[in-house]
Structures are given as C-alpha cells and as structure tokens.
Amino acid sequence: MEESNKSSINWAQRFNWSDKLILIVEDVEANHLFISSALSRTNAKMLWAKNGKDAVKLALENPDIDLVLMDIRLPELDGYEATKQIKAFRKNLPIIAQTAYVMSNEKGKVLQAGCDDLITKPIRLKVLLETVAKHLIQ
C-alpha cells in the first residue's frame, strides 16, 4: 500500500499542470477519452475539438492554450492544415501530432506542417506524458 502512495506522490510532483490548458484535437471519442483521462491526473485544464476547423477556431479564441495534441486524420480540415493555420497566428504554440500512420515520411510531413513533435498510436501513457512534459516545461 505504501508503494502505491509513493508512486502517486511522484506522479503528482512530476506532472502537475494545474496552470496549463491543453487542446486535444481528436475525432475518435475513445481516443479522446483515453487522452483526457491520462491528462486529468495532471490537473491540466482541457479543451476538445473533434475536427481541424474547430481546433483552429478554439486556438484563435483561447490565447491561453499552452499545448495542442493534434490528430492528423481529421474530418473537415486535416491535422496538417489545421497546424499550419494555427502556427500562422500562434508561432510558438507547441503542437504534438498524434497518428497511427508511422511510415518513414510521416514524421517529416508533420514537422514540415509545423508540428513540434509526434506521438504514434496506439498512444502509450508514459510516452504521452513525457512528450507533453518536454514541451510544457521549457
């Protein structure tokens, strides 16, 4: 019992983002639920966009967003184009692409679109938290 309390304390100390706002851009509800559940343990505030068009709108209306988790395959406006549009008015906003498509040219495509990093699906909790931490704590 004591060991689990110790790991809970470490988790809270390492990933306490109560002062952060993260935009999750994900059209698949199950993926959104996984990500938001993982991030809820960090106390981060979250917004959810189900397509690229809404992501751009939310980023424009919420200048306090600290980071975007951007799915690449989205309806209405894909993640590449949404990223380009967001970076046009929020150049320094960290955007982490998330995709199931891990072909060799995918990382180059997401970086060229303006993404700062890439997480592959299925998303692993440790990779998600460490990647987000790397971009929130700079």
In tens, the pLDDT along 58-81 reads: 999 999 999 999 999 999 999 999
The pLDDT value given to residue 99 = 87
The pLDDT value given to residue 24 = 98
The pLDDT value given to residue 12 = 55
The pLDDT value given to residue 29 = 95
Q: Does the predicted model carry a pTM greater than 0.85?
A: yes
Query: Quick check: bond before 122 cis, omega within 30?
Result: yes
pLDDT tens digits, 89-115: 999 999 999 988 766 677 888 889 999
Across 15-43, average pLDDT: 95
Element (H, E) at 46: strand 45-49
The domain locations on the chain are 2-136
pLDDT(19) > 80? yes
Across 15-39, average pLDDT: 96
- Any idea of the CA torsion for 131, 120, 20, 81, to the nearest 10 degrees? 120
Joined tokens for residue 132? 């987000």
Fold of 2-136: Rossmann fold (3.40.50)
